[in-house]
Amino acid sequence: MRATPSRRGIAARLAVPVMATALMTVPATAATAVVAAPAAYAAGATPADQQNWKVPRLAVMPLGDSITLGAGSSTGNGYRAELRNRLVPHAGNLQFVGSVRSQGADHEGHSGWQIGELSENIERWLPAANPNVVLLNIGTNDMDRNTDAEAAPARLGALVDRITSAAPHMTVLVSSLVPTRDAAGQKRVEKFNAAVPRLVAERREKGLNVGFVDMAAVTAGDLTDKLHPNDAGFTKMADAFYGGIARAAADGWIREHVDIRPAPPRSVTLGDYRVDVDGDGKADYLVVDEGGAVRAWVNKGGDGRGGWGEYGRIAAGVGVGGDKVRFADVNGDGRADYLALDENGGVRAWINEGGDGRGGWTSWGRIAGGVGAPASQVRFADVDGDGKADYTVVDESGAVRAWVNKGGDGRGGWGEYGRIAAGVGVGGDKVRFADVNGDGRADYLALDENGGVRVWINDGGDGRGGWTGWGRIAGGVGAPASQVRFADVNGDGKADYTVVDESGAVRVWINDGGDGRGGWTSWGRIAEGAGRGSAVRI
C-alpha cells in the first residue's frame, strides 16, 4: 500500500470568537480587581513608551476558532494581516506560527472549535510551533451553542493553565469575545466576558505572563453575520492585539526563546468495534473528549466521495474519562452503543437510539462486572458472528480471553469461552480485532511497529475451530502501528486499513482481499480531522 496526497477536510465547521479592542496587562497586586484600560487603547493608539519598542524575535501563535482563521473578512486573513503589518517594525524576526496554513500564513484558527477542543491539542501544537507569544480568542462557539456556558470560563482558565504549564515563560494574551447578534447568545457572551479579566488576574498574581485584551471596541455593527467580524471589526481586533503585544514588550515579558515542554504521550483507545452510529454499515467518525462527551460525523462516503454529515454532540458523557469510553454494538441492532468502563473492567451500557437530539440513549445499567483485568485490556469484538459485540481481554503478551455476549448481566449473561488465542509474539498494543474476510466474525490482526499486518482468520478460536493464518496482508504505508486502525469505510462488510494521524486526519486503503488476495485500493485522505488523533474513533 502506498500513501496518496491528501484531500478535502471533514466538513466545514462554524467558529466564532467574541472580542473587544483595548488591551491591558493586570498588575500582580490585582488578584480580583482589574484596572480599566486607558481610553486611548480603545481608539487603537498606544502610549508613547510603547510606540518604539523592539524585540529580536517575535513568534506569534494566533489561537482560536473561525474568527482567528479569518472567516467573515474579505481577504480571509481576519485580523492577522493587519496585525502583522503593525508588528513588522518592532521585531528583528517576525513569524506567525501554527499547524494551519491559510492565505500564506501559519496559525491555529480552527473553524467551529470550542474551548475544549483547543485544550485537547495545545500541548502538541506548542512545541511544534515554538511561539513566544500566544493570542487566545476562544469561546464564541461555546456561547453560541450554549455548551455548558456557565463552566466555560473555567474551561478557558484550564486551557491557559495548559499553555503555561507547558511553557511557564510564555506570553499569553487572552481576549474577550466579540459580540453576537443573537440576543440569548449575547447575554452569555457578556457573562463570559465579565469573567475573563478575573481569571487573567488570578494567573498574573502567580507571576505568569498572562494579559487581558479587551475587544469591547468591536460592536454588533462590525459583524458581517451573526458571529464574525467584517473588515472593520477585524481591524479593531488587530489594534487590540497589537496594543497587548506592545504592552507585554514594554513590561519585559517577551523572551526571545521560550522553553516548551514536549507533548506528553497519548495512549490510543483500541477497544472499539464497528463504530457505526447510524446503522448503515459504514464506519463513522467520532471524537471523544477527555470528559467522555462525543461529537459525530456520519460517513456519507468521506471527502471526495460524498463527504460527512455533521451530527454535532451526540453524547454528553457519563462521568468517566474519554479513555474509559468504548463503542460497540451490544444488542445486535447494527448501531454502536456507548459503553463506560470502570477501572476494574466493569461495563455500563447506553443503547444507541440515535444519540442526543436524534432519539437519545437508553441506559441498560451495568452489563458486566469485570473479570479481574484493568479497563486498558478490555476490548469488544464479535467473536462468534452473531452480530453482538463480545467481551474480550487482551493481555500484554497478546493472548486473548473471551466472554460471549448472551445479553449481558441481567439480560442473559455471558458465555465464558476461556482463552481463544495464545498470542503470536507481539504485545497487546499491537493486536487489533477486525473482520477482514467479511464472514461476520472478528479476526486476529498483529501489527509490526511500521504498520505491517499479519492476520489469523477466526474459525472459532482456540478449542472451537482455531485460526487460519493468512500471513502478511499489508506491508504498511509509512505510519507507525499506533496510528493504524481497521474500519469498514465503504460498507462491504470487510474491514479496511486506515491511518489516523496526530491531527485526526484519516487515510484509507479499501480491503480488496489484502496482499496476495486481491490487494488494497487507496482512497487517499477521506477526512481532514476534527480533533487529536488519540481522541478519534472510527
Lowest-confidence region among 40-44, 325-329, 331-335, 415-419? 40-44
The pLDDT score that the predictor gives to residue 267 is 66
Q: What number is the average pLDDT over the span 481-499?
A: 96
The pLDDT score that the predictor gives to residue 418 is 97
Q: What number is the average pLDDT over the span 208-231?
A: 98
Lookup: cell for 87: 508588528
User: Is the CB of residue 226 less than 8 Å from the CB of residue 181?
Assistant: yes
Q: Is the pLDDT of residue 28 over 80?
A: no
Give 246-258 pLDDT, tens digit per residue.
999 999 999 999 9
Task: Return the axis-axis angle of helices 80-87 and 231-250, rounded to nearest 10°.
Answer: 40
Name which residue leads in pLDDT, 291 or 45: 291
DSSP class per residue in 303-371: TTTTEEEEEEEEE---SS-GGGEEEE-SSSSSSPEEEEE-TTS-EEEEEEEEETTTTEEEEEEEEE---
Give 191-214 pLDDT, tens digit per residue.
999 999 999 999 999 999 999 999
Q: What number is the average pLDDT over the span 491-509?
A: 94
From 304, 414, 417, 280, select the one nearest 352 (Cα to Cα).
280
Lowest-confidence region among 48-52, 259-263, 404-408? 48-52
Within 10 angstroms of residue 85's Cβ, the number of other Cβ atoms is: 11
- Say which residues have a Cβ less than 8 Å from residue 447's Cβ, sequence separation at least 6: 426, 430, 431, 432, 453, 481, 484
